[in-house]
Amino acid sequence: MKLVNEKLAANLLKAGSKEFLSMGFQGASLRSIAASLGVTTGAIYRYYSDKEALFDALVEESAKTLVEQYRKLQKSFAAMPLERQLCELPEVPDEKQLWMLRHIYDHFDAFKLIICCSAGTKYEHYIDTLIEIEANSSRALIDRMTAEGLKIRCIDDALIHIVSSALFFGMFETVKHDMPFEKAVIYTNSLREFYSAGWFKILGLSNA
């Protein structure tokens, strides 16, 4: 019986992922998921209280790990001397960016669900969490440059938010368009170079 239950639980996750990817969260139906498995909706309710709980089970761990790692990365960046921070702009070093991208691709369906199918769930604004971390880090760096006497242009929070949004919405385009990992690496490396040069330009700094 235990093996049967474990198999059903695994198949339920697979069927749920397929349904959400096909229909989106709002269009998905537990009845449809149950029918695809040849069980009743009551069988699903033994595992999940509703379809949002099922969606959460599919994406929570992957989503949480990325956010936690990104917060850790930004704290590490903030602890660096200012000169090194400027040398490492943007704030995602190559090896960390590759980890982020590999994590996303190792859990591709989870992030596809978050980016394309999460309207109506708490993950609908998931990217905004990453953008907020990035924007706060950027604000702290700009304030630090000003405090240490660097002559830079005045950048308000609205522009910081726009630039931070461009970084993450650009990165997740790779998922939205089902880009192969190797191509996604090239794409995000180019995005990183563009983002870095752009920061130096709008701050009025030389990155020579």
Q: Is residue 84 situated within a structural domain?
A: yes
Q: 101 pLDDT band (50/70/90 cuts)?
A: very high
Q: In whole angstroms, give the CA distance from residue 121 to residue 41.
A: 20
Shared-domain flag, residues 63 and 43: no
Residue type, 13: L
Q: Is the pLDDT of residue 20 over 60?
A: yes
Is the overall model pTM greater than 0.85, yes or no? Answer: yes
Exposed/middle/buried for residue 78 (C-beta within 10 Å: 0-12, 13-18, 19+)? middle
- Identify the weakest region by mean pLDDT among 31-40, 133-142, 172-181, 198-207: 198-207
Shared-domain flag, residues 130 and 178: yes
Shared-domain flag, residues 64 and 137: yes
Radius of gyration of the chain (CA): 21
Measure the CA dihedral 99/102/108/112, to 10°. Answer: 50
* Token output for 78: 């903030």
Shared-domain flag, residues 69 and 162: yes
Is 170 within 8 Å of 159 (Cβ atoms)?
A: no
Shared-domain flag, residues 35 and 70: no
Shared-domain flag, residues 81 and 6: no
Split into its structural domains, the chain has a count of 2
Residue type, 175: V
